[in-house]
Amino acid sequence: MVVIRGATTINEDTPDEIRAAVKELLEQIELRNMIARDEIVSIVFSSTSDIHSYYPAKAAREAGFEGASLFSAQEPEIDGSLKLCIRTMLFVEKNIQPKHLYLRGAKVLRKDIAEKINVAIDGPAGSGKSTIAKALANDYKILYLDTGAMYRACALKALEKGIDLSSECEVEELIRHLTLEVKYEEGTQKTYLDGADVSDKIRTPEISMAASTVSRYPFVRLKMAEKQREIASGISCVLDGRDIGTFVLPTADFKFFLTASPEVRAERRKRELESKGYTVDFEQLKEEIVRRDQQDMNRAIAPLKQAEDAILIDTSAMTIEEVLQAIKKKIQEKI
């Protein structure tokens, strides 16, 4: 006897969605494990507490699995659990190495056996991309890489060394010898520059503008992109930045481009900086944001741009939760 596990998600709690999802899941499990229907002794289902419209066991019977003893149960409501999810366990009279199967949104439940997913979230400063990327990575329990932090670290080094930022040669020479490391401490990204943790130091408005300036230079971009690809290779992750969908990971499975009006973005940045103890002027901040957008959009290499296949979301009038749900819905629809 072997036990095969599987899970899938639906987009809406309707009988049709449940029937289609259960049929697909069971048929795929049969196919992948090369089992015959009469070898299945029993199938047990559990569904999350937001599913009420149909019994998965009934859907299985209708899909032709009536020869096995079928059973469904509902799971308790668990904070942060994947929504609209149906899990299954098949007891099969066969001696094989089971191939468990996680489909659609449930792929994120078993990253060890499911395919890896890369999510690119690009957009201008204050569009909400880092908050969303962080929350998404946390929900899916996958890695989050804030690529802006890397350009910020380059800028910090240049400012500390008193380099003329308008001199491409000087910046290039400096970046050539810089040791930049991204580490994860208790799930939080930390940026280390020449061995020192600079994660907080790189968050000032001065560094924001300087990061935008040094990130124009091809040498800096190529070096950072190479590092970003290295970190993202082989694992499921969410990267946020300006050029992830167009340049760093052009084949990312999911691409989003977030925007918001300059006023909303400046207001968000103001609140963020004030919460860290900085005193900021709204008008000045707005002007800086617009200037930074211009600089990021108009550079020659890998500018801030929406990838053709990216989904555009204007977050101006949306809450963080609304943006997060919109993105998760798109992801779950596709996988």
Q: How distant, in Å, are the alpha carbons of 36, 81, 215 from that of 148?
A: 52, 30, 9
Q: Does 191 bind ligand DC (CB under 6 A)?
A: no
208 binds ligand DC (CB under 6 A): yes
Q: Which is nearer to ligand DC, 98 or 205 (CB)?
A: 205
Q: Tell me whether residue 117 or residue 289 sits nearer to ligand DC (CB atom).
A: 289
Which alpha helices (H) appear in 161-261, and where do they start and end?
168-176, 205-214, 218-232
| Opening angle at CA 24, ends 22 and 26, nearest 5 | 65
211 binds ligand DC (CB under 6 A): yes
Which of these segments, 49-57, 85-93, 211-219, 305-313, binds ligand DC (CB under 6 A)? 211-219
CB of 292 to ligand DC, least distance (A): 5
Residue 332: CB minimum distance to ligand DC, A = 26
Please name which of 187, 178, 9 lies closest in space to residue 108, comparing C-alpha atoms. 9
Q: Are 161 and 206 in contact (CB under 8 A)?
A: no
Residue 56: closest CA among 79, 84, 95, 34: 84
Residue 242 in the binding site for ligand DC (CB under 6 A): yes
For the bound state, the minimum distance from the C-beta of residue 278 to ligand DC, rounded and expressed in Å, comes to 15
Indicate the residue among 84 and 156 with the shorter CB distance to ligand DC.
156
For 324, the enclosing helix (H) or strand (E) is: helix 320-334
Cα(8)–Cα(30) distance, rounded to whole angstroms?
15
Q: Which is nearer to ligand DC, 30 or 296 (CB)?
A: 296
Among 33, 88, 191, 215, binds ligand DC (CB under 6 A): 215
Backbone phi, then psi, for 48, in 5-degree steps? -70, 160
Q: Mask: binding to ligand DC, 246-285, rule CB under 6 A, as x and -?
A: ----------------------------------------
Contacting residue, 18, 40, 90, 125, with ligand DC by CB under 6 A: 125
Size of site (CB under 6 A) for ligand DC: 14
The reply on whether position 243 binds ligand DC by CB under 6 A is yes
> Binding of ligand DC at residue 180 (CB under 6 A)?
no
Buried b (16+ CB within 10 A) or exposed e, 53-81: ebbbbbbbbebebeebebebeeeeeeeee
- Minimum CB distance to ligand DC smaller for 108 or for 211: 211
Smallest separation (angstroms) from ligand DC to the CB of 273: 12
Alpha carbons 230 and 115: distance in angstroms, whole number = 18
- Candidate residues 296, 307, 324, 332; the one interacting with ligand DC per rule CB under 6 A: 296
Token pair 């049929």 is at which residue?
A: 23
Q: Are strands 254-259 and 311-314 parallel, antiparallel or unpaired?
A: parallel
| Binding positions for ligand DC, 133-152, rule CB under 6 A | 147-148, 151-152
Q: Is 255 helix (H, G, I), strand (E, B) or coil?
A: strand
Residues that bind ligand DC (CB under 6 A): 125, 147-148, 151-152, 208, 211-212, 215, 241-243, 292, 296
